[in-house]
């Protein structure tokens, strides 16, 4: 089972006996996990999937039909940089670590486990969606994302197995034991215990939550622990497609909603069997706020420690003018005595907020694009990102209540108006009523526009899944 042929890799697996032994134990458990809580109902179907086979910029992926349990999950690290130095924090300028530095062992393991935990969680969250896929193209994209999140789990398990000995192997087993949404053994981070009930959730999850993945991976790609840096760099190659699925998925919903609105005699999109933009806005509010929580608290000593130790940098740290972040402050809005006021925080303690800034800017770019799509079809409606204070469960705004514009509210007012801002029970029921599987190549559900092109040069009506 453990062979170069079954497990594509560039870590010299065939001569690494220790890694082989660890994988021999872990792999059957992984496959059991995949069959038990991976995509439900499609394990024996042939799906047109890409598989990572090298780290070359051109030709890193191979496309073919494959049954998901036979997918060749591999282990790839971006090529090492000669003489790479720690790029930031207290050890800036020293050679990078190729073994785990003893004093940061627990912190580093924690970061890797937290990253690793999100990957299988997302597969669990999405396991039922194949049954309501709006087209074969979308169904294939769902499964592509799922198998690659599986590979991202492998990437973190590789680090645990190779660099953390016995406790690393135990953590790798625990990654298969926790379950999204489980009361006793939940996944670690909030958004990964939220149900993904429908394709609207899925598109917004891949738009907003996978995009947190991009920024976290980019920050870890700066790490002074070189194996982590190189692993995350390669994961980012695959991540681009996940965010593409989300961003274009939302764009295609906007396109279709606007078309339906134009053709409805009274402009009522729901009567036409579509998703109206005010409802879409509520799902944006939900998944954007849940995903913002994934950056952690605005003021965080953990984040300061990660930065000082050289374990987790800023977005594109290597392109910043300065890498110590000492004697600098970050100004943010905090709530004091019932008022939102501006406050200065030492920059190292604000690293989560600094990364969130990059993230929010990227999200805003996508929202602007969706609004241009609506405008092109001739509909006047501006989708918006809610204030960062809205609906937060982590950090300085958690436990308080704000409207989407960021105004402080009392709890009663928030409860009274919540259904205006977040998907209500009846919104979810309406969206559920639209979720019907479409399996004929080239056909698509009424609520979604087709993509502008297919996968890997194939047309939209290609048979992406052989049912």
Task: Please report, as ranges, the residues that interact with ligand BYC according to CB under 6 A.
Answer: 111, 114-115, 118-119, 122, 149, 189-190, 209-210, 212-213, 216, 293-297, 300, 302-303, 312, 352, 394
Q: At what angle do helices 351-377 and 210-220 cross, to 10 degrees?
A: 140
Among residues 291 and 428, whose Cβ is nearest to ligand BYC? 291
CB-CB neighbours of 6 under 10 Å: 14
* Least Å from the CB of residue 314 to ligand BYC: 12
Among residues 294 and 445, whose Cβ is nearest to ligand BYC? 294
> Quick one: tokens of 58?
């051109």
Sheet with 465-466, edge to edge strand ranges: 61-67, 46-52, 465-466
Close Cβ partners of 200 (under 8 Å, ≥ 6 residues apart): 253, 275, 280, 283, 431
Tell which residue, 35, 27, 33, 21, has the closest CA to residue 6. Answer: 27
* Least Å from the CB of residue 236 to Fe ion: 9
Site for Fe ion in 103-162 (CB under 5 A): 119, 149, 152
Among residues 122 and 387, whose Cβ is nearest to ligand BYC? 122
Among residues 118 and 279, whose Cβ is nearest to Fe ion? 118
Partner interacting with residue 297 (select from ligand BYC, Fe ion, none; CB below 5-8 Å by kind): ligand BYC
> Quick one: tokens of 2?
């453990």
Residues making up the chain, counted from first to last: 467
**242 interacts with Fe ion by CB under 5 A:** yes
Strands, E assignment, 347-432:
401-402, 408-409
Among residues 297 and 450, whose Cβ is nearest to ligand BYC? 297
Among residues 209 and 231, whose Cβ is nearest to ligand BYC? 209
* Least Å from the CB of residue 270 to ligand BYC: 30
Alpha carbon distance 437, 423 (integer Å):
22
Partner interacting with residue 300 (select from ligand BYC, Fe ion, none; CB below 5-8 Å by kind): ligand BYC
* Least Å from the CB of residue 67 to ligand BYC: 22
* Least Å from the CB of residue 154 to Fe ion: 11
Partner interacting with residue 111 (select from Fe ion, ligand BYC, none; CB below 5-8 Å by kind): ligand BYC
**Do strands 61-67 and 46-52 pair parallel, antiparallel, or not at all (unpaired)?**
antiparallel
Partner interacting with residue 209 (select from ligand BYC, Fe ion, none; CB below 5-8 Å by kind): ligand BYC
- Applying CB under 5 A, the site for Fe ion has a residue count of 6
Partner interacting with residue 8 (select from Fe ion, ligand BYC, none; CB below 5-8 Å by kind): none
- The residue written with tokens 């079809």 in the block is 377
* Least Å from the CB of residue 212 to Fe ion: 10
Which of 210, 212, 247, 353 is in the footprint of Fe ion by CB under 5 A? Answer: 210
Among residues 206 and 222, whose Cβ is nearest to Fe ion? 206
CA-angle at 255, arms to 250 and 258, nearest 5°: 120
**211 interacts with Fe ion by CB under 5 A:** no
Question: What are the start-end ranges of the H helices in 264-350?
Answer: 277-293, 301-308
Q: Which residue is nearest to ligand BYC (CB)?
A: 296
* Least Å from the CB of residue 228 to Fe ion: 14
Q: Name the one range near Fe ion by CB under 5 A: 31-39, 164-172, 242-250, 266-274.
A: 242-250
Partner interacting with residue 212 (select from ligand BYC, Fe ion, none; CB below 5-8 Å by kind): ligand BYC
Alpha carbon distance 34, 196 (integer Å):
18
What phi, psi does 102 have (nearest 5°)?
-50, -45
Among residues 136 and 232, whose Cβ is nearest to ligand BYC? 232
> Quick one: tokens of 296?
């952690």
DSSP character string of 195-239:
---SHHHHHHIIIIIHHHHHHHHHHHTT-SBHHHHHHHHHHHHHH
Partner interacting with residue 296 (select from Fe ion, ligand BYC, none; CB below 5-8 Å by kind): ligand BYC
Among residues 232 and 254, whose Cβ is nearest to ligand BYC? 232
CB 332 within 8 A of CB 352: no
Partner interacting with residue 294 (select from Fe ion, ligand BYC, none; CB below 5-8 Å by kind): ligand BYC
CB-CB neighbours of 80 under 10 Å: 13
DSSP 3-state assignment of 424?
coil
- The residue written with tokens 């990572």 in the block is 52
Q: In the chain, helix, strand, coil percent, each to 5?
A: 55, 10, 40
Partner interacting with residue 114 (select from Fe ion, ligand BYC, none; CB below 5-8 Å by kind): ligand BYC
CB 201 within 8 A of CB 141: no
């Amino acid at each position: 089972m453990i062979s170069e042929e079954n497990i594509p890799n560039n870590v010299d697996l065939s001569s690494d006996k220790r890694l082989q032994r660890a994988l021999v134990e872990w792999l059957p458990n992984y496959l059991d996990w995949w069959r038990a809580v991976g995509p439900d109902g499609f394990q024996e179907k042939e799906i047109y999937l890409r598989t990572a086979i090298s780290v070359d910029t051109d030709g890193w992926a191979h496309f073919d039909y494959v049954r998901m349990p036979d997918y060749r999950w591999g282990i790839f690290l971006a090529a090492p940089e000669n003489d790479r130095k720690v790029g930031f924090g207290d050890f800036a300028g020293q050679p990078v670590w190729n073994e785990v530095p003893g004093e940061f062992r627990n912190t580093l393991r924690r970061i890797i486990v937290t990253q690793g935990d999100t990957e299988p969680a997302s597969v669990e969250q999405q396991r039922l969606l194949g049954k309501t896929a709006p087209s074969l193209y979308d169904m294939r994209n769902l499964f592509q994302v799922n198998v690659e999140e599986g590979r991202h789990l492998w990437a973190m398990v590789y680090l645990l197995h190779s660099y953390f000995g016995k406790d690393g192997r135990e953590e790798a087993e625990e990654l298969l034991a926790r379950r999204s949404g489980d009361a006793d053994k939940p996944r670690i981070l909030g958004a990964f215990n939220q149900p993904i009930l429908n394709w609207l959730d899925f598109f917004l999850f891949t738009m907003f939550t996978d995009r947190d993945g991009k920024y976290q991976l980019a920050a870890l790609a700066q790490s002074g622990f070189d194996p982590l840096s190189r692993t995350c760099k390669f994961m980012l190659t695959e991540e681009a497609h996940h965010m593409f699925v989300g961003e274009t998925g939302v764009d295609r919903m906007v396109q279709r909603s606007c078309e339906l609105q134009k053709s409805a005699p009274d402009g009522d999109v729901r009567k036409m069997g579509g998703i109206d933009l005010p409802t879409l806005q509520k799902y944006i509010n939900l998944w954007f706020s849940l995903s913002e929580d994934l950056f952690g608290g605005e003021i965080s000593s953990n984040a300061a420690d990660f930065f000082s130790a050289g374990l987790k940098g800023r977005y594109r740290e290597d392109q910043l003018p300065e890498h110590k972040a000492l004697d600098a402050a970050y100004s943010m809005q905090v709530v004091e005595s019932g008022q939102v006021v501006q406050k200065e925080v030492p920059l190292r303690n604000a690293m989560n907020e600094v990364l969130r800034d990059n993230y929010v800017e990227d999200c805003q770019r996508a929202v602007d694009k969706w609004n241009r799509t609506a405008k092109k079809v001739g509909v006047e409606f501006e989708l918006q990102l809610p204030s960062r204070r809205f609906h937060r469960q982590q950090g300085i705004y958690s436990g308080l209540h704000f409207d989407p514009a960021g105004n402080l509210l009392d709890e009663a007012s928030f409860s009274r108006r919540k259904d205006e801002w977040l998907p209500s029970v009846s919104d979810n029921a309406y969206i559920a009523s639209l979720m019907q599987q479409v399996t004929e190549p080239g056909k698509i559900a009424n609520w979604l526009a087709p993509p502008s092109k297919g996968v890997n040069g194939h047309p939209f009506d290609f048979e992406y899944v052989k049912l």
